[in-house]
């Protein structure tokens, strides 16, 4: 079945540091890929998405590129802020099977220190 693997957290960075959170996936078809963010005590917000190979999703300074050859969708940001502290989830949606539910990774907690 489909699966998503994320790097273990927590990731602790100083403000303005470069961020990478690794995400790889296994899917039978051609999934759409997503990054969601969960701030403390809140629900999930869509951060960015990509629907086909080589697409780059971007939002709020975050970027991720859909790499079919390496089955990866790594999240990057050039300069993190304290306000970016949250849990980040990589997820996929399998379009070809019609199963629209999201399969999530285990989440990566990011802590940014001033």
Which residues contact other proteins (rule: CB under 8 A)? 32, 34, 36, 38, 42-46, 49, 51, 87, 89, 93, 95, 99-104, 106-107, 109
Residue 26 and residue 10 in contact, taking contact as beta carbons nearer than 8 Å: no
CB of 77 to other proteins, least distance (A): 20
Of the pair 19, 37, the CB lying nearest other proteins is at 37
The DSSP output letter for 109 is E
Q: Which residues does residue 40 pair with via DSSP β-bridges, in sequence order?
A: none
The DSSP output letter for 74 is -
Residue 66 and residue 55 in contact, taking contact as beta carbons nearer than 8 Å: yes
Of the pair 51, 71, the CB lying nearest other proteins is at 51
CB of 79 to other proteins, least distance (A): 26
């Amino acid at each position: 079945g489909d699966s998503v693997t994320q790097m273990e957290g927590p990731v602790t960075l100083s403000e303005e540091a470069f961020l990478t959170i690794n995400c790889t996936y296994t899917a039978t078809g051609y999934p759409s890929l997503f990054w969601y963010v969960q701030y403390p005590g809140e629900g999930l917000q869509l951060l960015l998405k990509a629907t086909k190979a080589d697409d780059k999703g971007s939002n709020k300074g975050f970027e991720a590129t859909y790499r079919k050859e390496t089955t990866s969708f790594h999240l990057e940001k050039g300069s993190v802020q304290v306000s970016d502290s949250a849990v980040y989830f990589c997820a996929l949606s399998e379009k070809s099977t019609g199963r629209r539910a999201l399969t999530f990774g285990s989440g990566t907690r990011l802590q940014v220190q001033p």
